[in-house]
Structure 1
C-alpha cells in the first residue's frame, strides 16, 4: 500500500493551504480532488488581504495568484433598513473568479512539492496509527477540505450543520455597474432576513453578482433566488454562469475531534454568519491543520488548540452577531454608527471579511444608535 505523511482531500483554498503548510514542515503530501482544474465554484470571489498574507507566509507566490485582477479599495454596504456606509478599506480586496483562483493556487501547491491527483474518495478507515483511503493509500493524517458537502465528514460520521444555520446563495456574472467603479457593493434586506445581494467587479467589465439568504423553511428554487437578486439589484442585465450552493454558517466554537482526520474550511462549517465569507477561514484553518498534521502528539488535539487560539474569539463574536442579527435593527444601528466613525467602519470590514472581533467601540456605537432610534420613534 502506498504510504504518505498527509493526504488532503479537496484542492480549494483550504486544501492548498493545508498542503503548503505540511510541505513547509517537510511532509510528503498528496492533494486529491475529484475535479480537473480549472473548475468553477459558486462563490463571491473576494479574497481579503489577510488571506493573501497567510498564503504568502506558506510560500505561495501571491503576485502570481492575483496577477491581472485589480485591487478593490472601497466597500459600500446598505443595511436592511436602508442606512448606507461607503468607505475606503485600510486593507484591500481582490476579486478573482474561483475558476482562475483555485487553478492558480493548485499550481502553487504543486510547485511547493505536493502531488496533485484527480481522484474521488469513496472509503476511509481511520485507526490509531493512520488513515486508509479507498484501500490503496495510507496516510498518517487525512485533511478533509472538500467543501460544505464534505465526503470526508460523511465517511467519518461527523454531523452536518443544523438547518437553521445553513444559507443558500446563487451567483453569476453580469456587466459591472458604472455607478460604483472599483467598489464591492452589498445590499441587505429585511425581507426573508437575513438576506443580501452583492456585486463585486472583477476588472474586465464584468462583476460577480449574487444573492443569498438563510434557510428557514422549504428549499428555495433558483427562480426564487433570482427574484431576490432582482429586487435588490435591478437592471443587472443578462447574467451568465449561474451557480447555487449551500453555506454552513459557523456556529461559534468549531467542533474539532481528536484523531487523525481533520476537517477545515467549509467542511468544518467555517463560514462567516454575517457576510457569508469563507476563504479567509479556509486558508487559516487549512494552514493550522497542515501544521498540526506534522507535529508530535494527537493531530486533532493539536489542531483544536491552535484553532481556538487563532480564531476562538472571532468565532465567539461571530456566534454573538448571528444571534443579534435576528433583529435587523441591530445591524441598521451598526451601519449608521460606522458611517460616522472610520475606526468602527474598519472594524466592521475586518469582522466581515477576515478574522476581526466585535470591539467595545462598535458595541457602544451600535447601542447609541439604537437608543437614538428608539427615542426618535416615540
Structure 2
C-alpha cells in the first residue's frame, strides 16, 4: 500500500510512495493491478475518468480473455450476458462462412466490463484514484509522476493516446499501422445470435460488425486502416450503412470514434522501471482489430514484472511477452500482410466454410494467440484457385 511521508531528492518533494503505480484503469491497467497485488505489491491505480465510464470499442469478449481473467481470480466479468455461439464472416467478394465458435464469445459494453475489472482490482487491495498524469521523472531507484507520486515501477496502460508512451519518447503509430473506427448501438438483427463481420471490397482493409448484446441491442460499427487521408464521420457512417443493410445510422445511439494502434508497429515494451501494456503498446490484432485479450494478457505480465523485479521491469516484461506472444504476433503480422490482398481474404472465407480446422485456426489467430500452420496455408493456396463471388460494396 502507499504511505504518506515527505522525502527530499534533488529538491523534489514526494508525498506518497507505492510499490507499483498503474496509469490507466481499463482492462490492461486493471489486469496489471490485479497481477501486482497477487505478487504482494502495493498498487495505486490511476485514471483520468471516474468509473463506470464508456469506452469506444466493439465490446467483444473472446474466451481467451476470460482465461486470463480466471487466472487473476476474476470469474464474473461477463455475468448476466448470454454467450454468442457462432461467427458469420463475409468476405470482400461476397462469400460467407458461418460456423460455431470453438468457444463462445460475449458482448459486454465497456461501461460495464471495465467497471467490473476496476472493482475487482480495488477488491484485491489496489487504491483507485482519479488523476491525469502529465510528467514522468525516471530516477535510479524509482519513478516520480507529476512530482507528487512515486513508485518502484510504473505500468503505462493508458490507451491509444498514451501519455506514458509519449513521455517515454515513442511517437504514435503512423498511417497503415493505425485504424479508425466508429461504434454505436442499434437494434439487434433478427435470427439466432451470432457475431457478424462484413468485410469491404471498397477501402480495403476495412469491415463492419454487429455483435448482439442480449438485451435487444447490438454493438455495431465500421473501421478501416488509415492511409494518409482524413476520414470523416459521414464517411464512416456511410460505409456502416452500406455493409450492414437495414441499419439506419440515424437510429444508432452512442456513436463514438476511436483509433486502433495495430501491433504491426509496436514501440519498445518499456524502459528500466517503466513498461507499456495494451493499446499503449499498440497491441491491437491487425487481422481483426481485437484488443481485449492482448490488453488483459499484457497487463498481467506487466504487473507481475513491475511487482517482482521493479529495477529491471522492462527487461523482465519484454522477455515474458516474447515467450507468451512473440510467435503469435509474428504470425498475425504475416496474416495482416497477406490480408492486404482481397483475393486472399476471399480464399480464407471459402476454405474456412469447407474445412473446420482452417476455420478454427483463423479464429484462434484473430481472437486469441493462435498461429498459422502449413496445412492452413496450403488449403488457402488451393482456395485461391476458386473464382470469386460477385464483389461487395
What range describes the TM-score normalised by the shorter chain of this pair? over 0.9
Q: In structure 1, which of residues 220, 234, 241 is the aligned counterpart of residue 254 of structure 2?
A: 241
Unaligned runs of 5+ in 2: 1-14, 389-393
Q: In structure 2, which of residues 186, 206, 209 is the aligned counterpart of residue 174 of structure 1?
A: 186
1:163 Cα deviation (Å)? 1.6
1:13 Cα deviation (Å)? 0.4
Query: Structure 1 residues 121, 254: closer, same or farther in 2, change over 3 A?
Result: closer
| Whole-angstrom distance in 1 between the partners of 2:387 and 2:312 | 52
Are 2:221 and 1:221 equivalent residues in the alignment? Answer: no
1:159 Cα deviation (Å)? 2.3
Which of 2-11 and 354-363 deviates more?
354-363
Are 2:304 and 1:291 equivalent residues in the alignment? Answer: yes
Secondary structure, aligned partner of 1:298: helix
1:371 Cα deviation (Å)? 3.1
| Whole-angstrom distance in 2 between the partners of 1:320 and 1:247 | 18
1:107 Cα deviation (Å)? 0.5
Aligned to 2:269: 256
Q: In structure 1, which of residues 231, 248, 261 is the aligned counterpart of residue 242 of structure 2?
A: 231
Contact 1:293 1:299 in 2 (8 A): yes
Aligned to 2:46: 32
Unaligned runs of 5+ in 1: none
| Whole-angstrom distance in 1 between the partners of 2:55 and 2:197 | 20
Residues 310-349 of structure 1 aligned to structure 2 (within 5 Å)? 310-349=324-363
| Whole-angstrom distance in 2 between the partners of 1:140 and 1:220 | 42
| Whole-angstrom distance in 1 between the partners of 2:169 and 2:382 | 46
1:373 Cα deviation (Å)? 4.1
Alignment length (residue pairs): 371
Are 2:201 and 1:190 equivalent residues in the alignment? Answer: yes
1:252 Cα deviation (Å)? 6.3
Secondary structure, aligned partner of 2:101: strand
TM-score calculated relative to the size of structure 1: 0.96
Query: Structure 1 residues 202, 115: closer, same or farther in 2, change over 3 A?
Result: same
Residues 302-313 of structure 1 aligned to structure 2 (within 5 Å)? 302-313=316-327
1:372 Cα deviation (Å)? 3.8
Post-superposition Cα deviations, 1:168-211, rounded to whole Å, max 9, x if no partner, equal 000000000003x2100000012000000000000000000000
Aligned to 1:279: 292
Post-superposition Cα deviations, 1:72-119, rounded to whole Å, max 9, x if no partner, equal 110000011111110001211110000111111110110111100011
Aligned to 1:79: 91
1:35 Cα deviation (Å)? 0.2
Aligned to 2:282: 269
| Whole-angstrom distance in 1 between the partners of 2:178 and 2:84 | 29
What RMSD, in angstroms, separates the aligned Cα atoms of the two structures? 1.3
